[in-house]
Structure 1
Amino acid sequence: MEKDQIRDKDIQYVIGNLLRYGVWIALGVAALGGLIYLFRHDQEIVHYGSFVEQDINIFVLIREMFQDVSKGKGESVILLGIMLLFLTPILRIIFSLIAFLFEKDYLYVGITLIVIGIICFSVFFGFAH
Structure 2
Amino acid sequence: MAEQQQASRQDRAAEVEIAISKMLRIGIVLAGLVIVVGLVLFLVTGDSGYPGDTFPTSLLEIWHGMVELKSVAIIEAGLILLILTPVFRVFVSMFAFIHEKDYRFVLISILVLVILAFSFALGKVGA
SS in structure 2 of the partner of residue 66 of structure 1: helix
- Structure-2 separation of matches of 1:39 and 1:6: 49
Q: Which residue of 2 aligns with 1:29?
A: 34
Q: Which residue of 2 aligns with 1:105?
A: 102
Alignment of 1:1-129 (within 5 A): 1-41=6-46, 61-126=58-123, 127-128=125-126
Aligned amino acid, residue 84 of structure 2: L
- Give the structure with the larger helix fraction: 2
SS in structure 2 of the partner of residue 37 of structure 1: helix
Between the two proteins, the alignment pairs up a number of residues equal to 117
Deviation at 1:125, TM superposition (A): 2.8
Which consecutive residues of structure 1, in runs of 5 or more, have no partner in the other structure? none
Which consecutive residues of structure 2, in runs of 5 or more, have no partner in the other structure? 1-5
SS in structure 2 of the partner of residue 72 of structure 1: coil
Higher relative contact order (CA 8 A, sep 6+): 1
CA deviation vs aligned residue, 1:51-90 (integer Å, no higher than 9, x gap): 78x9x9xxx6111000100000010000011000001100
- Structure-2 separation of matches of 1:38 and 1:63: 24
- Identical aligned residues as a percent: 30
The TM-score normalised by the length of structure 1 is 0.83
Aligned amino acid, residue 21 of structure 2: G
The TM-score normalised by the length of structure 2 is 0.84
